[in-house]
Structure 1
């Protein structure tokens, strides 16, 4: 059986995602679509609107055959580490191709950009380090480094978020899994950061914004979603009385920053020396997450970078923990979140070839990263009522979602 891998967050799964799944299957001629999906917290340092189990079920009901989890330590990172973890996970799953959406829709410029980068790797890394030392954000520093070594990115917009990720995917595929074929399809209609909800093809950002404003699924919002996603959004809200947003975590963040000694905050992954004092100073007079972020944000520290750091504070991810895993060239396991009958058949055919353990229930494997996943789940469900929270945490040790 052939498998095509896709790298997703599904926050939430919408009509554009359904289009991506369909096009990926057609373009790759694969028997199985395997998605590696972020868990409770996402690449930009945001909590997922609903938990990973409901997002998995929505995906499996809409064309995905197999969903595995991208470990937290890779999921909440800048594009290079995020893409590295995702590509390594899909490589461990033995996929034949990886298909991503892009504003460009043409794979050749991504491959050429990688080849140019590979030919000037030392100069690129030197320039990147210099730009970061000047206080630039990682995306800006990477863009400047590319320009410095003369990489030709004229054929597509490198500032477009999906192109940035696509470029990272191709880099990691060529570096760690050159046997995997990179594919891309052109995004349809809405852009990644579009905040205005319009029609059937809307961005996840605009959908979340509308849900937060309306606090209910209106017909206008539902138009952009498959029926299965509507069902899962309703199901999660009925259980939890919440669609997750950073403001739901502000009290926990406030308490953690105020009661953690500065030296311990300094040990958190992503905390530059001295930034812990700024966090402690600004949190005192902030009454919301939005206000705190506005106070802390500077030209050097972007909103996204600070969101990731806030997430790492809640989860307690240290620099020592992150360094131990981010430098490795393999993932420690494949954790299955859900599968259809096709996904189950794929695992049965290929699992003997896997070079890392396949997990369907976490307690069956002792691994340091799984302890980090426990902490991430505990942080994610912390705003919920105690009884509901306990029930959700029990699922962390349960079996995958099965869709027949």
Structure 2
């Protein structure tokens, strides 16, 4: 986005939010004509904890430092634009597949709340289930409805794959995921498990603040931006963080032309992307992968990517649930499912050391003991969190 376009969006938000006008003035005084980055700290101070605007759709999600749920508002126009963009994207991803039935097995939040409206707009029979229903209920509903398209989160899909005797028997034609990292190895493993081609497992990327952000283009091997999204890749120091990233990694910053009730201008997503390519005259920006959240992950300060760990796991296993945990200088990997076997665990341990050089270097240098791999006999032995499980956990009591 050129400076003129950025300034036009900034002027709109300055008229709407007094705090943003003050921030813009301060930025002009300190940095010249440079639009400021909107970090989590700024938004927690001025937006997330503010009173919800009247006449708006209001979505809430966890994440503020004070323990309160974040408030994110959508105007009527915001909601219409969101639904229109996502409906067109789903139609594009479905392609020429004869989709008649679509099933949403989601968490909470905006994507879950709007999925049925999108399915209806596309003329698909539809059903949905809440993520916190017992897994047996998920399997029952899926088996009865037999969807052609399944819209879900990676953590939930792993649970379904492990709970079914024969996942391919559902007859699902394609799977669209959102909400968590989905490496190529993970998508390939899930495709094989459900008896479909790797191209039939399609990942999308979004946030409740921005809406739909990107989708993975399997032909090009990269994520492409959704309509109205403009992306920048910045060094952590630019947004006030001391993180050190690999040479091909950067913090993702977004601006959207689709949002009225959220200041979607140079919004710091908190995500680290790999292989970012800036927009050109003929194409929008792209990136190869979303590898982790920015900020400390292991307590000794090393930045190890869940994306890379799972790529190593799913190179050797298909039907398995994965949890990564860290405490002090310990790294523990929990595996549960039909493919969680001792021989696969040994291959996975070796693969992680080779695929994730940071781990191998720390083990050889004595900073990290050998990776502990726990083969859980039930889900209850796995670290538990919210619906999103692809993050760093604390070890369970037994470990």
TM > 0.5: no
User: Normalization by structure 1: what TM-score?
Assistant: 0.28
User: Normalization by structure 2: what TM-score?
Assistant: 0.28
Q: Which has the higher helix share?
A: 1
Higher relative contact order (CA 8 A, sep 6+): 1
Q: Which has the higher strand share?
A: 2
